[in-house]
Amino acid sequence: MLYSVVVLISGYGSNLQSIIDNANDIGIKIDCVISNKKNAYGIERAKKNNIKTEIIENNKFESKFQFEQKLAEIINKIKPTLIILAGFMYILSAGFINQFKDKIINIHPSLLPKFKGLNTHKRALEAGEKIHGASVHFVTNQVDSGRIIMQKSIKIEKNDDFKTLAKKVLIEEHILYPLAIKKILKNL
Ligand code: GRF
Torsion, Cα of 108, 26, 54, 136 (10° steps): -10
Catalytic residues: 108
Ligand 1, closest atom to CA 41?
Answer: 12
Under 8 Å between Cβ of 82 and 10: no
Structurally, the chain folds into a number of domains equal to 1
Please choose from 9, 90, 107 the residue to mutate so as to test ligand 1's pocket, defined by most ligand atoms within 8 A of CB.
107
Which domain does 129 fall in, by range? 3-186
Residues 71-110: pLDDT tens digits? 999 999 999 999 999 999 999 999 999 999 999 999 999 9
Under 8 Å between Cβ of 52 and 31: yes
Q: What is the CATH number of the domain that holds 180?
A: 3.40.50.170
Q: What is the DSSP string of 16-78?
A: HHHHHHTHHHHTEEEEEEEESSTT-HHHHHHHHTT--EEE--GGGSSSHHHHHHHHHHHHHHH
Residues 25-80: pLDDT tens digits? 999 999 999 999 999 999 999 999 999 999 999 999 999 999 999 999 999 999 99
Mean of all residue pLDDT scores within the chain: 98
pTM reported for the whole predicted model: 0.98
How does residue 132 score in pLDDT terms, banded at 50, 70 and 90? very high
Q: Kindly give the distance from the C-alpha atom of residue 13 to the centroid of ligand 1, in angstroms, as a whole number.
A: 7
